[in-house]
Amino acid sequence: MNHTDKEIRQYFKNIFGFKPRHLDPYKIALIHRSVSDNDATFGKINNERLEYLGDAILGSVVADFLYHKYPLEAEGVLTRMRSKLVNRARLNTLAKKLGLDDMVRMDGHITQGCANGNAFEAVVGAIYLDQGYQKTYKIIIHNIFLTHLDMQTVYEEDNDFKSRILIWAQKNKRKVTFAHESVTNGKEHLYKSIVSIDNETVSDGLGFSVKKAEQAAAEKALAMIETPQE
């Protein structure tokens, strides 16, 4: 489907919240390789180069955002959150939500799926070329991610250590169990959770509830599992 310049400008104003200065990068960002335009000088024109650029810019913008939003989190947590925010499945879903599937020109026989996520990255590349890094940051984080994604849910998913270690156990065919007991620390009543892997105790954690004790113990166990052995 070919869209007029007016339609493309209106799309970015309505969905991304800004007016493009130069339209050419956005036109290219909306061309899938299956319908590449031919140019006498540059050959086939499609959004693959912009996708390459946008992938790098998107990773940088998200890393920048997470670094400042979560100043106390370790590198591993930030890395996992960034991966969750920019993975292919999430970008595909986000692109569809933004209506990119209706804007991208592609062969009708191509399954859109990943093409939508690729187009989103290409659009990010186009925005960067047209608007610069600071404006791109604002558009992607404030107009897109914080508007269409629940960042707190992503954060909580990443910090659900019990679920993560159970998923690890399932993938690696290991047996993980949690045992609990009540303990007293001075005048405070606490719960102690003990994590065992294949019936061998590997960590424990304290908390004011069983759930918090489990999370503390699971976090320690994960740190041991994920630390490379020398």
* Catalytic annotation, residues: 55, 121
Phi first, then psi, for residue 132 (nearest 5°) are 90, 170
Query: 6: left (phi > 0), else alpha (psi -120 to 50), else beta?
Result: alpha
Number of Cβ atoms within 10 Å of the Cβ of 178: 18
- The CA-atom distances, in angstroms, between 208 and each of 161, 184, 201 are 17, 11, 21
What is the SS3 string spanning the chain?
Answer: CCCCHHHHHHHHHHHHCCCCCCCHHHHHHCECHHHCEEECCCEEECCHHHHHHHHHHHHHHHHHHHHHHCCCCCHHHHHHHHHHHHCHHHHHHHHHHCCHHHCCECCCCCCCHHHHHHHHHHHHHHHHHHHCHHHHHHHHHHHHHHHHCCHHHHHHHHCCHHHHHHHHHHHCCCCEEEEEEEEEECCEEEEEEEEEECCEEEEEEEECCHHHHHHHHHHHHHHHHHCCCC
